[in-house]
A and B are shown apart, each in its own frame.
Chain A
């Protein structure tokens, strides 16, 4: 759940982000490293194209047979002893999770990083229910201390520099870290968090995959925090979007290879865990109860519309790491749960086009996101589909509509267009001196930042026709 409607509009958020040079430094560090590591991982993985085709095919197959795999997953999860809940939207998902916590008299809940938890607004819901929440992922811990939302789907605190994190820990940790080198800071966070890991009543995690033929949920982390979140507490709740289904464990691994290389450039995450039901008699550890909350929240609607391909997304973050816009404004400026190109497609689904109209427009359509996407999502095509829908629904500003329709009326009448161009370029020349125009009424967006080359003076068509006439006369 985001607060796009209640916050400053997109352009104001973007301007604020552009003015924040520390933010830019933090973004450049993380995305620059991510880009380099992904490139290195791919050069050592020549079968990437084949793996991408397979990953896309797996996802498309599941999406086409979603009801079948959902039923199979539910059956097997129940057989393993888990309880399965269905949530049609974010409100239902919040209600289910808080009810389970309250019925268990939970006072302390640990949570492992999950973008779906952010999407359904779980942090706020738990606070509203008076339940203390401890984030066990280091980055989530940082943004919890800062009272912020994630700015990236893989590195939620990527908008904060090491130096800023040191400041946060100095005031937020008791006692503060012994020193400000990374090792001491991690040590300090571990000390803060470990005690709570063990005292929690409920652990909440997301899932990277839901395995239909075993009923297991799969989470991957680099810190091992998911294991500590999900094993010691009495109750383990998994919240997952219904698009996370895969037919079998082998399919999960096929996608995992793509996910990890695209996200962090590694070959495997440090920790890959499959949870299959609660503790059984004879198990050394594990929760007494396991609940799986399957969340729709707009996904079944996407099945039927032009955004269906977006259901393939495995949340790797590569599209934002390679996005020129994200790399200038960071994640918070997007105003939704999910930032970058994938967020610009998803946020209008989740928050409505009225609140998120800017996002599909704030894109140069350069296509680098689609080029790196490990499941071949045609992100620019989907963004254009939002633009077309926004146009059809009459949401585009009147000035834009009027301008384009006047232009289109000329452009569909070639003779008139040629005449208008001849006049237009001569008019335009009046605004410049030498070869450049430094200021132009109605084009301030251009000339505020760059000069505009002054037109040559006669249009191509004019010169070409004169040239043809001369050639004809000379013949």
Chain B
């Protein structure tokens, strides 16, 4: 196709995708390969360290940051199916390791190569999925870190617009937090519940068949609330739809 050599991409699947919904990881591999990348999944990855980082446990967060930096050295790009894990690597690691010149430089180098997957596909690879069809209506929630820390907003929408038959519906408060917040949702469960209750109501008011978003944590929160309140909305990660997997089980459906 093009004269440029295919970029080598290291995929960080994230701990939640690894444990709860591996199919998002396979959707990522499929899309990255369709976009012309050579994809590898380094075995030395576990979690980006966000639970420690956001709890103020800087020592453990720094340990995980160094492990992740080392695991992804040498890749042209590092791609994640999560805005919040990507933001931790892009903004959190350089801050966390600022006190150590060598590691700080390596953290900045990783940060410069790290991307949330939908923005990578559009902004770096100029990719649009071809031949995808899905007769459904969907609404999209902008997960906070991706939106505000990385500017992920237009890219997922542009990709979804390439899926034939998919009707996008507006979501009231699409850029308002769903109340997940990592450990926040269990530490301050009643507050988190009040927030996600309003979010679930807005999703239902959209009338869409599907709820799409780019972070599994937020999706589990919203899907779990929708299911508890008896809603029929089916929830997918954006890239599952882009990879043509929306005919498979949604979050909370047995495959």
Cα distance, A444 to B41, chains bound together (Å)? 34
- Give residues in B with beta carbon < 8 Å to A: 13, 15, 17-23, 25-26, 41, 43-47, 49, 51-58, 60, 63-64, 67, 95, 144-145, 148-149, 175-177, 179-182, 184-196, 220-221, 223-225, 227-228, 249, 251-255
User: Within 8 Å of chain B (Cβ to Cβ): is A463?
Assistant: yes
Cα distance, A389 to B58, chains bound together (Å)? 10
Instruction: Please provide the chain A residues from 315 to 350 with a CB less than 8 Å away from any CB of chain B in the complex.
Output: 324-325, 328-329
Nearest CB on A from B79, distance (A): 14
Do B252 and A15 touch (CB < 8 A)? no
Residue of B53, B177, B184 touching A362 (CB-CB under 8 A): B184
Which of chain A's residues has its CB closest to B199's CB? A324
Nearest CB on B from A309, distance (A): 14
Do B186 and A443 touch (CB < 8 A)? yes
Which of chain B's residues has its CB closest to A381's CB? B95
Residues in chain B near residue A361, CB distance under 8 A: 184, 187-188
Residue of B19, B63, B182 touching A408 (CB-CB under 8 A): B63
Residues in chain B near residue A445, CB distance under 8 A: 185-187, 189, 192
Do A388 and B177 touch (CB < 8 A)? no
Cα distance, A335 to B254, chains bound together (Å)? 45
Q: How many of A's residues come within 8 Å of B, CB to CB?
A: 67
Please report the number of residue pairs spanning A and B whose Cβ atoms sit closer than 8 angstroms.
202
Residues in chain B near residue A425, CB distance under 8 A: 19-20
Residue of A417, A435, A443, A459 touching B22 (CB-CB under 8 A): A459
Do B51 and A407 touch (CB < 8 A)? yes
User: Within 8 Å of chain B (Cβ to Cβ): is A121?
Assistant: no
User: Within 8 Å of chain B (Cβ to Cβ): is A29?
Assistant: no
Instruction: Identify the stretch in A46-54, A125-133, A449-457 within 8 Å (CB) of chain B at 4 or more residues.
Output: A449-457
Do A364 and B43 touch (CB < 8 A)? no
> A364 with B177: in contact, given A445-B185, A449-B228 (CB under 8 Å)?
yes
Do A387 and B54 touch (CB < 8 A)? yes
Which of chain B's residues has its CB closest to A424's CB? B19
For this complex, 26 residue pairs linking A to B, each with C-beta atoms less than 8 Å apart, are A11-B190, A14-B191, A328-B195, A362-B184, A362-B191, A364-B144, A364-B180, A367-B149, A387-B56, A401-B57, A407-B51, A408-B57, A408-B63, A421-B18, A435-B249, A435-B251, A435-B253, A444-B189, A449-B190, A449-B225, A451-B227, A455-B20, A455-B21, A459-B18, A461-B18, A461-B41
Residues in chain A near residue B194, CB distance under 8 A: 18, 328
Residue of A368, A391, A414, A436 touching B252 (CB-CB under 8 A): A436
Residues in chain B near residue A387, CB distance under 8 A: 54-56
Do B55 and A456 touch (CB < 8 A)? no
